[in-house]
C-alpha cells in the first residue's frame, strides 16, 4: 500500500507500507520519490513473503512475475486486475496446442450478472505463458458503487484530457479479483469481504495525517522525510 504526500509534484514523497493484518506488525516501510511507480516497491517486499502467507495487493502493484514468485514460494495472493487484462481458459481436449487457449469474454457477464452479484471462473491463465492457473472472480458493482466510479472516471478524464474507450467504460462495472487460494479455504462470497481489509491501510495513513500532519511536509528529500516520519 502506498501514500503520496508533500507540496506539489516535484516536492512529493511516496510512502510504501506493508502491514501484517494478523499481528499488526509493519513488515516494510519505504520512502521514495512521489513519481516512482508503486511496482518499484515490489522487490523490497519479497523477503517478507513466507509459505502460506496471503498477500493482498491493489491495482497499482499488479505484476505477473510477482504472482508467479508468490506461487513459487507456496504463498497465496489476492489482487485486483485491470479489465483490459487478457485472460484465457485452457481446453486440453483440443489436440493443437496453439488452439488450447481461449480468451475469456468478460462482456458476456454483463448480460448474466446482476448488480451486486459475483461469479467465478475457477481456472484461468493470465497470458499464455503463465504456467500457474488461478481463480477469477467478477463482482459487478452496485448502482451506488458504479455512480462513485463514474464520477472518478469523469474527474480523471477531464484532468488528463482523454476519453475512456467504450470497452473500458463497460467493463469498469466490474471489480475483477484473481487468487490462487483454493475455494475450500476461501469461498467465492468471502473474496470481496477479505479484499476490503485493505481499508485498514487507508485508516493508518488517515491517522498519520490527522495526528502527525505528514501530508503537510515541505521537504522533497526522502532522507529528511524519514527523519520526520520516524521521529
In the prediction, which pLDDT does 1 show?
Answer: 37
pLDDT digits (tens, 9 = 90+) for 65-86: 788 888 888 889 999 988 778 8
Give how far Cα 48 sits from Cα of 27, 158, 180, 194, 221, Å: 7, 40, 19, 20, 26
Which of the 8 DSSP states describes residue 215?
Answer: G
**Burial (CB count within 10 angstroms: exposed 0-12, middle 13-18, buried 19+), residue 194:** middle
Residue 2 C-alpha cell reads as 502506498
Residues 6+ positions from 171 with CB-CB distance below 8 Å = 83, 84, 106, 107
The CATH number of the structural domain formed by 2-230 is 3.90.350
2-12 as b/e: b if 16+ CB within 10 A: bbbbbeeeeeb
209-226 as b/e: b if 16+ CB within 10 A: eeeeebeebeebebeebb
Q: Is 107 helix (H, G, I), strand (E, B) or coil?
A: coil
Please give the sequence-ordered ranges of beta strands (E in DSSP) within the chain, or none if there are none.
2-5, 13-19, 26-33, 54-57, 76-81, 88-90, 101-103, 118-124, 134-140, 174-179
pLDDT digits (tens, 9 = 90+) for 179-220: 999 999 999 989 988 888 877 777 777 777 776 666 666 655
Low-confidence ranges of the chain (pLDDT < 70): 1-13, 32-46, 127-131, 211-231
Amino acid at each position: 500500500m502506498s501514500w503520496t504526500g508533500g507540496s506539489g509534484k516535484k516536492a512529493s514523497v511516496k510512502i510504501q507500507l506493508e502491514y501484517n493484518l494478523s499481528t499488526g506488525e509493519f513488515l516494510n516501510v519505504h520512502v521514495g520519490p512521489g513519481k516512482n511507480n508503486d511496482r518499484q516497491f515490489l522487490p523490497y517486499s519479497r523477503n517478507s513473503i513466507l509459505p502460506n502467507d496471503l498477500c493482498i495487493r491493489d491495482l497499482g502493484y499488479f505484476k505477473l512475475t510477482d504472482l508467479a514468485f508468490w506461487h513459487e514460494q507456496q504463498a497465496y495472493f489476492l489482487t485486483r486486475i485491470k479489465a483490459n487484462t487478457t485472460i484465457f481458459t485452457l481446453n486440453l481436449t483440443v489436440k493443437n496446442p496453439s488452439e488450447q487457449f481461449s480468451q475469456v469474454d468478460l462482456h458476456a457477464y454483463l448480460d448474466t450478472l446482476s448488480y451486486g452479484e459475483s461469479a467465478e471462473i475457477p481456472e484461468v491463465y493470465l497470458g499464455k505463458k503463465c504456467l500457474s492457473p488461478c481463480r477469477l472472480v467478477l463482482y459487478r458493482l452496485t448502482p451506488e458503487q458504479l455512480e462513485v466510479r463514474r464520477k472518478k472516471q469523469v474527474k480523471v478524464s477531464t484532468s488528463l484530457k482523454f476519453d475512456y474507450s467504450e470497452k473500458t467504460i463497460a467493463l469498469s462495472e466490474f471489480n475483477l479479483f484473481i487468487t490462487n487460494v483454493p475455494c475450500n479455504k476461501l469461498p467465492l462470497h468471502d473474496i470481496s469481504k477479505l479484499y476490503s481489509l485493505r481499508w485498514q491501510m487507508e485508516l493508518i495513513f488517515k491517522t498519520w495525517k490527522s495526528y502527525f500532519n505528514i501530508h503537510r511536509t515541505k521537504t522533497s528529500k526522502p532522507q529528511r522525510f524519514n527523519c520526520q516520519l520516524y521521529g
